[in-house]
Amino acid sequence: MLKILFQIMSRTFKYEMKPLFEERMRKLMPLEEDFQKFSAIVHIGPRNFIRCNNLKISPKELIEKLRKKWEVSQPFQGYEEIMLIESELKPGELGNSLEHVLGYYYVQEISSMLSVLALNPEPEDLILDLCASPGSKTTQIAARMQNTGTLIANDLKMDRIKILSSNLEKAGVTNAIITRNDAISFCLRLLKTNFKFDKILLDAPCSGEGTLRSSPKTFNMWNHKVVNNLSRLQKKFFANAIKLLKVGGTIVYSTCTHAPEENEAIVDFALRNFPVKVETISLPLKCRPGITEWKNETYNQEVTKCCRIYPQDNDSEGFFVSKLTLLGEIK
């Protein structure tokens, strides 16, 4: 117990929530006890999760190596690749280990892994990762595909492309093609070629409200105007990406934010404008259903099938995941 308490204290920091942000979160968590748990945990750094890269090593082999220096657990049955480092770590220790340098594992927070689990990539799939850098989800997709099929990994800025390329190379990914394009113009160009994907991951640029634990600067950077601007951009991204999906194909839309304008509002937009249905998702974390009302907006009841991940429910970062199937041709 003392060891656990020490680990928590060593990860604790203090930032003030902006009044408007606090007001919004209280509306999402109307029970005072719930909000207080949220408020407390976002001032504690996240736990140390890693994902075994089974393109290079099996979970069994990796955990045998890591247990020689750390306490390691596999907390989720059926997801042996997900590992939690229980030991107290020095700054940079996870990233500087020999196993990490060799690409045996990827340092990745558990909530960040959920998008790909929902997408369920399979060998020989044709998949688009539209906003791919830094590559955590891209490498996870490739591993699930067993380096078969074709994976298009796109991002915009050259510095992000370099990071993406480095991470794919380290992970031993050989089935990916990296492209550098604005997401919307890239979709428009592909649309002219009648190119269609089995599955698409749209892990959209967002306001990052769910990353307070790993990125405390978000407390100071948060701005409701940014939320509204991103919501408009996310709708454009979705409207163009969905047209590249095969009928019967799957698109996963995810963010690392709690803002309904960037989450349920986008899924509601999809339901109103395209022949899609929202799928129920089974994930290894506690999920709360999507909300159907926010401010003056009412969303389609189907958004309740989306998953809201709150940090106080799982000792994780915050996240949002939705999975949609295209039912017919888009005119």
Q: Is 215 helix (H, G, I), strand (E, B) or coil?
A: coil
Catalytic member of 52, 187, 256, 287 = 256
In sequence order, which residues have a C-beta less than 8 Å from that of residue 35 and are 6 or more positions away?
A: 25, 26, 29
Could you tell me if 142 and 168 are in contact, meaning their C-beta atoms sit under 8 angstroms apart?
yes
d(CA 145, CA 221): 37
Taking the C-alpha atoms of residue 256 and residue 112, their distance in angstroms, rounded to an integer, is: 8
Contact 127, 153 (CB under 8 A): no
Neighbours of 150 (CB within 10 A): 15
Cα separation, 320 vs 307, whole angstroms: 6
Rg (CA), the chain: 20
3-state DSSP assignment of residue 295: coil
Peptide bond into 134 cis (omega under 30): yes
* CA angle, residues 228, 134, 186, in degrees to nearest 5: 65
Q: Is 306 a catalytic residue?
A: no
> Do 309 and 110 form a contact (C-beta atoms < 8 A)?
no
Alpha-carbon span 131 to 201, nearest angstrom:
8
Nearest to 162 by CA among 131, 135, 200, 202: 135
310, containing H or E segment: none
Q: Who contacts 6 (Cβ-Cβ below 8 Å, separation ≥6)?
A: 88
Q: Annotated catalytic sites, by residue? A: 256
